[in-house]
Amino acid sequence: MSDTTSARPVIQKVLVYSDDRDVRDSVMLALGPHPDRSGGEVHYVNVATAAVVLDHVRAGDVDLLVLDGESAPVGGTGLAKQLRDEHPTCPPVVLLTGRPQDAWLATWSGVDAVVSHPIDPVLLARTVAGLLADPSPEVPR
């Protein structure tokens, strides 16, 4: 019997950053443990400060970042820009914006995808699953 498992890891780590615990909880609830419904499991790294996000990216121990653009004092938009500028192998980034009209600012920050508040669970899961399935996150951006 041949091995038909995919090349991507079975368990992937998604970092969820927001200063608001309710936002972090809503993201993790929307995604659940299997956002792509194909069996791949996601473990969450629940983060409330930008310094801890930077530590995880430097360590290279997360596969995808979901950053809240509305966080304070460090917003996800500026944090995404910093990560892209300082870490060429930064994992894919999904930015949560306060409103759809803020997508232009997300483009400036170099994020891979934008989802606006209120969080649409189907859109967020589809977005995250697509980025986790992409084999190119190891390529410098």
Could you report the per-residue pLDDT of 29-42, keeping only the tens digit for each? 999 998 877 667 89
pTM (two decimals): 0.87
As given in the structure block, the two tokens for residue 122 are 């189907």
Structural domain including 78 reads: 11-124
pLDDT higher at 125 or 8: 125
Residue 60 lies in a domain: yes
Q: Tell me whether the omega of the peptide bond preceding residue 88 falls within 30 degrees of 0, making it cis.
A: no
Cα first-last separation, the chain: 38
Residue 82 lies in a domain: yes
Residue 107 lies in a domain: yes
3-state secondary structure of 76: helix
Number of domains present in the structure of the chain: 1
Least confident of 44-53, 116-125, 132-141: 132-141
Q: Domain with 16 in it: what CATH number? A: 3.40.50.2300
Query: Rounded to a whole number, what is the largest CA-CA distance in the chain?
Result: 54
16 beta partners:
46, 66
Residue 34 lies in a domain: yes
Residue 22 lies in a domain: yes
**pLDDT number for residue 120:** 94
Residue 31 lies in a domain: yes
Q: Is the predicted pLDDT of residue 3 greater than 50, yes or no?
A: no
